[in-house]
């Protein structure tokens, strides 16, 4: 039985994760931490505002806010807790800072840009296609309460495409009459972020060469799609070979 604590337990995803953990026969929900929801009952556990409540867990699942995630992870590291991170905002600089702060010894920390199995496959397909096209752009679409832009999924997709041999062989002659209309570049790929009510989490990768384009799109219409990946990460984070690992694919393979 794996003892699990949830950080951000009173949030949308935190509450769903807590309920999924409580329902899993091999997992034991032992604590919930959320300063903004202290006193609430989530999945049979009273949420507290003291991070030391999670000292009783084997694995902490972190679904909070980019502004507090690094401080929280430092606390879980001091407690010696394995951590599964679903909080967004981990670009290359933040990942480098996390690796330096976390150190080279256990416990393990798994940072997952997207827990959806379909999204992981979308990223794999984009990386495989990238070297066969002259250039690519990413359009990511999320709900209007998302804390950051671009999404962690978009940044991870761009990095994977660059690592897979993606190119940017084109001449863009457009002049931005409106600053920002061409989006922002990450790993040589332009990323465009859409934020609207009615959306949840969506992304399309558009690849182009002379005479053809290829579009790879993934849509998440219910947060329940993330839960199988979260539970898999909880079960396997302790066995990872490196103290800091990025991506759900590390526990899928």
Q: So which residues are the catalytic ones? A: 142, 146
Q: Is 203 within 8 Å of 140 (Cβ atoms)?
A: yes
Q: Please give, one letter per residue, the 3-state secondary structure of 161-217.
A: HHHCCCCCCCCCCCCCCCCCCCCEEECCEEEEEEECCCCCEEEEEEEEECCEEEEEE
Cα→Cα distances 48→39, 45, 182, Å: 6, 9, 44
Residue 56 in tokens: 């009783």
Describe the crossing of helices 117-129 and 227-236 by its angle, rounded to 10 degrees. 90
User: Token pair 């590390």 is at which residue?
Assistant: 250
User: Token pair 């992304």 is at which residue?
Assistant: 203
Terminal alpha carbon distance of the chain: 23
């Amino acid at each position: 039985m794996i003892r699990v604590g949830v950080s951000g337990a009173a949030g949308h995803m935190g509450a769903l994760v807590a309920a999924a953990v409580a329902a899993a026969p091999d997992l034991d929900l032992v604590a919930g931490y959320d300063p903004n929801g202290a006193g609430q009952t989530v999945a049979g556990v009273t949420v507290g505002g003291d991070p030391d409540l999670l000292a009783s867990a084997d694995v902490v699942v972190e679904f909070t806010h980019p502004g507090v995630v690094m401080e929280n992870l430092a606390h879980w590291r001091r407690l010696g807790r394995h951590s599964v991170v679903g909080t967004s905002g981990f670009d290359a600089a933040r990942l480098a800072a996390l690796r330096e702060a976390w150190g080279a010894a256990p416990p393990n920390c798994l940072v997952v840009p997207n827990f959806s199995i379909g999204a992981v496959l979308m990223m794999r397909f984009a990386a495989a296609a990238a070297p066969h096209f002259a250039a690519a752009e990413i359009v990511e679409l999320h709900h209007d309460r998302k804390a950051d832009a671009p999404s962690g999924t978009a940044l991870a997709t761009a990095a994977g495409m660059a690592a897979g041999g993606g190119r940017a062989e084109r001449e863009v002659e457009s002049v931005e009459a409106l600053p920002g209309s061409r989006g922002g570049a990450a790993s040589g790929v332009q990323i465009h972020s859409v934020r609207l009510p009615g959306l949840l989490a969506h992304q399309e990768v558009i690849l182009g060469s002379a005479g053809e384009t290829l579009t790879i799109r993934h849509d998440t219409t219910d947060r329940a799609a993330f839960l199988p990946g979260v539970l898999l990460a909880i079960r396997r984070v302790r066995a990872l070979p490196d103290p800091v690992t990025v991506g759900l694919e590390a526990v899928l393979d």
